[in-house]
Structure 1
C-alpha cells in the first residue's frame, strides 16, 4: 500500500503533534519538581546547548579585554554578598537551599576552568535561562562585570585567607553590622582601601551620600554592587551610614595638583567649548559632591563612563547634566583634571 504525502497530511500531522504536546502539558503529567532532578540525557542536552550558546554569542558580544584585575575588592565584596550563597566561596560553603536547586549552581573553584574570560564575561552579564543564573542587574556597568570576571578567574587558586582579606574579614562577609559590611569595601576610615574604583567617602557631604544611597536603591543610579548593598537598608540605616562617613576626615582639602591648564578648567571652564567651570558646582557650600581629595582613578573613570553614555544626548531633555559636560572636556584633560582634584602633581 502506497501512502501519498501531501501538504494537507503534513500539516495535519504537525497539528496533531502540537495538540498532543499541549494535552501533555495541560494534563500535569510533566514533573517540574526540582526534587525529581533531570534525566541524564536531559541534563547533558541542556548543558550542551548552553555551552554552545555561550561560546557562539560571546564571540560576537564580549569585549576584547573582558577582565579587569584592578578592582578585586569590590568584586569580592559583591561575590560574598550575592554569589557565594549559591556558588560558595573560598572558605565558605554554598547554602543547602541553593544546592537543592535543579541544576545546582556550579562550584566556580572548579567550573571556572572550563571557560575563557570572554565566556565568563558573557555569562556574568547576560545570565543563563532555566538555570537560576541572573543577568547582571546594571547592564550598562560593564566595568563591574570585568572586575567580577577577574575575581572568578582567580577563585580556583584562592585560599580562604586571601578571600577574607579581599572582603574585609568575617564581619563584612557576615553582614550582621551595616557599617562593617560597607567598610569591607570602603574601609573603616572611609578611604576605599586603596582601590581606584572605590571612592573616598570620608568627608563627603551627608546630603550627597544619603541621596546616592537612595538613588542606588531605586535604580536611578546604576550599579549592581551598590544596588545590592543598599537593597535591605532602611531609611534609618542610610542616614546613619551617611552621617558616619561624612564625619570622617578625607575629602575637602584644597586641590594641590600643579597643572595650570587643569586649574583653568576648574576655575574658569572652557567657554569656546561651552564647558562651565567645575568649581561652579563642585565647591564649598554647593549642593554637589566634594571632589577635592577624591581618587584620581575614580574621578577619571566616572568621567569616561559619562562620555560613553550615548543614550544621553541633550541635558535639557534628560536632566542629566554630567554626561553632556563630560563630553565637552577634552580627552587629554580627563586624567589631568582627576589628578588635579586628587592633589597630585602633573606627570
Structure 2
C-alpha cells in the first residue's frame, strides 16, 4: 500500500501531535516531582543543551573575566558563604540536605573540573543563571562586573581550599563569636565583620572600603539603598536585605564611630599638583566639578579623605565602564558621568590625593 504525503496530511499530523501533547499535559499524568528524578537520557539531553547554550552565549557576550588575585577574594568568599554554600557546600561545609533534594541538585564546586568551563562561561553562568535548575542570575538588577569577576576567581580557587583556608577567606573565623553592638544581633554583626573586619577597615582588601569615620547618615542611607535595590551590588544587597531600619541605623553608628577616615585631607597628600587642583577646584574646560564640592565634610556624599586609594581608583574605573549611563537624570547616575570626564591618567593620582597618603594598599 502506498501512502501519498501531501501538505494537508503533514498539517493534520502536526496538529494531531500538538493536540496529543496538550491532552497529555492537561491530564496531569506527567509527574513534576523532584523526587522522581530524570531518565538518564533526559538528564544527558538537558545538560548537553545547557552546555551548548552557555558556550554560544558566553562567546557572543565576549566577557573574558580576568581572574583576580587570590588575596582579593574576601568579598566573593563572604558572599559565597552567605548566598551560595547552602546549595553548593564549601570546604568543610556540607550543603543543605533540603537544597540537595532539588532536581537537579547543585554541583559540588569544590570538585569542579578546571577544564569543564572557561572563565568566560563561568562569568556567563554567574551573571545570568540557568533556567530550570535553581541557579539564579546575579543578585542585582545591574550586575557589577567586578563582583562577578571576583566570584569567577573564587570558584576557580575553591577546589584548592581546605576548610581552614575557606573559613579564613570567607570571614567565618574573623566573625566567629563577635558580640553584637547595641541594637545589633551577634549573628548580624558576624556577617558584617566577615568582610569589613572588626575594626571596619575592610580586612586590607582593595575592593572593600574603610567604614570607620564615615558619615553615619551616609552609611545608613547606603544600606537602605542596597536593601531597596537602588544601589547595585549583589554582595551588599544580599547583606542588607534582611536588616530592619533600626538595625541599619545601629550598624551605621557602630562603624562610623570607629577610627579610620580623616575629617579632612591629610597633611601631606600624594598625587601631585594636578590631582590637588582637580580635587579642590575641578576643571571647567572638561566640565569636571571639584570632588570637594560634594565630598567635603558635612556634605551628603561620603567622606573620601583617608579612604583606601585602590578602592577609590577601582570604583572610578568601574563607573567609567557603565556606558549605558549617559546623563545625570538620577542621583545615582552622577558618578558615572563625572568619572568619564576624569582623564584616565589622573585616576590613580586623584585616588592617592584623596587618600592623603600613598602608603595604603
TM-score class, shorter-chain normalisation, is over 0.9
Does the CA-based 8 Å contact 1:202-1:251 persist in structure 2?
yes
Query: Is 1:119 the equivalent of 2:131?
Result: no
Q: How far 1:170 moved relative to its partner?
A: 4.5
Pair 1:227 & 2:237 matched: yes
**1:178-257 correspondence to structure 2 within 5 Å:** 178-253=188-263, 254-255=265-266, 256-257=268-269
Describe how 1:91-106 pairs up with structure 2 within 5 A.
91-106=92-107
Alignment match, 1:165: 168
Q: Which residue of 2 aligns with 1:134?
A: 136
Instruction: Note the residue ranges of structure 1 that are not aligned, 5 or more in a row.
Output: none
Say yes or no: does 1:177 pair with 2:187. Answer: yes
Matches within 5 A, 1:267-306: 267-306=280-319
Is 2:91 aligned against 1:90?
A: yes
Mapped partners of 2:186, 2:11: distance in 1: 62
* More off after superposition, 252-261 vs 124-133: 252-261
The 5 Å alignment of 1:320-335 reads 320-335=333-348
Unaligned runs of 5+ in 2: 178-184
**Count of equivalent residues:** 345
The C-alpha deviation readout for 1:267-316, integer Å capped at 9, x for no partner, is 1111111211111111122222100010111111111122222222222x
Q: Structure 1 residues 21, 223: closer, same or farther in 2, change over 3 A?
A: same
Once residues 17 and 39 of structure 1 are traced to their aligned partners in structure 2, the CA distance between those partners, rounded to angstroms, is 22
Q: CA deviation at 1:345?
A: 4.4
Q: Is the 8 A contact 1:66 1:121 kept in 2?
A: no
Q: CA RMSD in A?
A: 1.8
Counterparts of 2:336 and 2:139, CA distance in 1: 21
Matches of 1:72 and 1:28, distance apart in 2:
47
Deviation, 1:157, is 1.4
Q: Provide, for residues 206-255 of structure 1, a one-character-per-residue CA deviation record: whole Å limited to 9, x for no partner.
A: 00000000000111100000000111111111111100000000002523
TM-score, normalised relative to structure 2: 0.91
Q: Match for residue 180 of structure 2?
A: none
- How far apart are 1:169 and its partner, in Å? 2.5
- 8 Å CA contact retained: 1:112, 1:152: no
TM-score, reference length from structure 1: 0.95
Matched residue of 1:281: which SS? helix
Whole-angstrom CA distance in 2 between matches of 1:112 and 1:4: 53
Partner of 2:181: none
The answer as to whether partners of 2:58 and 2:121 remain within 8 angstroms in 1 is yes
TM superposition shift of 1:171: 7.0
The equivalent of 1:76 in structure 2 is 77
CA shift digits 1:102-161 (9 cap, x unpaired): 110000111343222222111111111111001112343011110001111011110000
Give the match's secondary structure for 2:73.
helix
Distance 1:30 1:89 in 2: 35
What is the DSSP-based 3-state SS (H/G/I as helix, E as strand, rest coil) of the residue aligned with 2:98? helix
